[in-house]
A = this chain, B = another copy of it.
């Protein structure tokens, strides 16, 4: 093949890509443009609100321009945070130095935020979900659709439950999930990344143009710097999103021990295996492919294990001999490393199911944090893993 053919080939590829992008631009809402709101205004919440507000502004035939974002009101230098966001178009507290779209409107009232919304995006810390959902009860029509950007499980009398299932059970609305290799500040700066949106079309789907489907979700979240894949497997991306933090703790331990890149990669390999096994065992509707093909699977695992809170806390534990609690206090300024809670929830659930020994990495992480098991035992514990054989 000569050089001109090669260039033609490349140009063909680019052309197809542009064609596809423009096909999204022709989607139209047939009843009224979908009204979007975001619940949550931390750094990830604000970043996702920025993404969808940009798309809402660009697609007036599909989305209402105004996107409301619920902000837990705080005072910053004597001014309301909502007022600062709506005047300066910057979330100075949680996403400083990032310009926000003017059609993104910070709203201090939860009920005002969701009023008339067609799509609610949940993006708050896991521990606030229950309280917020209780406040929303009775104020959300059953035809509203939701996307959860939260990580974690709801562990209770029903066993391990997906957060999206919790939303559906409590509010009676269909809820999907968004998850991916998405460090918030990198997405906010519009560095290129990918994500996965999972949504199951409900039985009461009102038809194309009248209801949310995969095309609408792609149009809502896809940006030139934020490439979206929309799939059905809500369970798969949620399981991966919750459990990656436990694996990241394992990576932090071996890094802190000075064992290097090979060891960290080994932990990620075993971790991916246990994530898949957990999914297959407790959420049989999840697809194995999701874990190794999607951004929410292997890519998010890689990003999370490359750094982030859980790795840092575990590394400090290994280097200093500190407890998890002390390491969290020293590093996170009141925030928490989600894996520390998740590994306990997972351990308790596996104990109930008599399946602890089938997840030796998850168990090793739990035992190290809660029972002072020496970290050096990880390789021997993992070696028992027969996930695949």
Q: Which residues of A contact B (CB under 8 A)?
A: 1, 3, 6-7, 9-10, 12-14, 16-17, 20, 180-183, 186-187, 191-194, 224-225, 227, 254, 258-266, 268-269, 272-273, 289, 291-295, 297-300, 302-303, 306-307, 351, 356-357, 360, 363, 367, 371, 373, 377-384, 387-388
Asked whether, in the complex, the Cβ of B260 is within 8 Å of the Cβ of A186, the reply is: yes
Residue pair B14, A380 in contact (C-beta under 8 Å): yes
Total copies of the chain: 2
For A180, A299, A351, which residue has the most chain B Cβ atoms within 10 angstroms? Answer: A299
- Given known A259-B192, A384-B17, contact A300–B183 (CB-CB < 8 A): no
B262 & A303 in contact (Cβ 8 Å cutoff): yes
CB neighbours (8 Å) of A192 from chain B are 254, 259, 262-263, 266, 378-379
The reply to whether A373 and B10 contact each other, CB–CB distance below 8 Å, is yes
Most buried by B among A14, A356, A383: A383
Contacts of A16 in B (CB 8 A): 384
Whether B269 pairs with A181 at a CB distance below 8 angstroms is yes
Q: Which of B14, B260, B367 contacts A191 (CB 8 A)?
A: B260
Please judge, given known A-B contacts A183-B262, A262-B193, A265-B306, whether A13 and B381 are in contact too, CB under 8 Å.
yes
Please indicate the chain B residues that have their CB under 8 angstroms from the CB of A263 in the complex.
186, 191-193
| In the complex, chain B residues whose CB is within 8 Å of the CB of A373 | 10
Query: Knowing A298-B269, A371-B6 touch, does A187 contact B262 (C-beta < 8 A)?
Result: yes
Assess whether A13 is in contact with B357, with CB atoms less than 8 Å apart.
yes
Separation of A272 and B121 alpha carbons in the complex (Å): 31
